[in-house]
Amino acid sequence: MTTHPTEHSRPDGHRQFVVMGVTSCGKSAVAAALARSLNTAYIEGDALHGEHNIAKMSRGEPLTDADRWPWLDRVATALLQAGPVAVASCSALCRRYRDRIRGEHAATTSFIHLHGERDVIAARMQARTDHFMPLSLLDSQLALLEPLEQDEHGVVIDITSSLDSVVEQTVAFATPLLPPSSTGQHT
């Protein structure tokens, strides 16, 4: 687990967590588990894609920035509307996408990057049958992926350990960042 430690508190007591990474890294499962642990809202980023984006990805076509901007805006809006503490799953592959999600709330938005080697992720993609993202798009996502920079608050978690271990590491990262007003919210 690698962290980018900086103090990120906001007086109004808000905190947003974005579980990020390429397709099939476990974003949805980890983000949902984190939200349950923190007893807070969970936003499934894939559910906010428009029909055009889903159709395009289903055909094996990578999204362009123009395709992504409205989607990223919906993720950012959902995080802010969800309450003082919220968790979202969203690929957030590169800095400009993370900047779009953060907007004016950089000081209260943390990213949890689920990282795995290509062969691990490809095996997960081949095993899943219930998702619109084909294996052919993995390489385009890996090419687009930019690691968190030093001024981005977040953590990188290796996905090769068990789901329980990944969730534990995620909760250990997030819990100390919760605003005082949410104390007792998490379990």
What span, in angstroms and rounded, lies between the C-alpha atoms of 38 and 172? 11
Q: What is the mean pLDDT of residues 157-186?
A: 84
Q: Could you tell me the maximum CA-CA distance found in the chain, to the nearest angstrom? A: 46
For 98-120, how does the pLDDT look when each residue is reduced to its tens digit (9 = 90+)?
999 998 888 899 999 999 988 88
Report the CATH fold assignment for 2-182.
Answer: Rossmann fold (3.40.50)
Any idea where the domains of the chain sit in the sequence? 2-182
Question: pTM value?
Answer: 0.86
Q: How confident is the model at residue 76, as a pLDDT?
A: 93
For 47-84, how does the pLDDT look when each residue is reduced to its tens digit (9 = 90+)?
999 899 888 888 888 889 999 999 999 999 999 899 89
Question: Which region holds residue 88: left if phi is over 0, alpha if psi is between -120 and 50, else beta?
Answer: beta
Amino acid at 83: G
